[in-house]
Amino acid sequence: MYRNSTAGKIPEIVYRNGKPSKIIIGIKEYEALLEAVEDREALDWLKRSRKESKSYRPLEEVLREKGECGR
């Protein structure tokens, strides 16, 4: 197996018709990017949810409405 000492550190660019079409990166870099995207999505969701108005009711009330409470 061929091992490159710079593998995973320098992205490789794949060209199609003279234009960049893909980038090959190491798995660690890929996983870090995925985690960053997931963190950003969670942060965006949290910011949106804080702006929405909320109302809370006791759990027993909700279960009674759904017919799932034996009271």
What are the residue boundaries of the structural domains of the chain, listed by start?
Answer: 12-66
> Which contiguous run of DSSP H or E holds residue 32?
helix 27-51
List pLDDT tens digits, range 42-62: 999 999 988 888 888 899 999
Tokens found for residue 1: 């197996």
CA distances from residue 60 to 32, 54, 55, 64, 67 in whole angstroms, order as listed: 42, 18, 15, 6, 10
Q: In terms of pTM, does the model score above 0.75? A: no
Average pLDDT over residues 10-37: 95
Which has the higher per-residue pLDDT, 5 or 60? 60
- pLDDT, residue 9, reads 75
pLDDT at 53: 80
**1 pLDDT exceeds 50?**
no
Q: Which of 13, 29, 10 is nearest to 21 (CA)?
A: 13
The span from the CA of 70 to the CA of 40, in Å, is 42
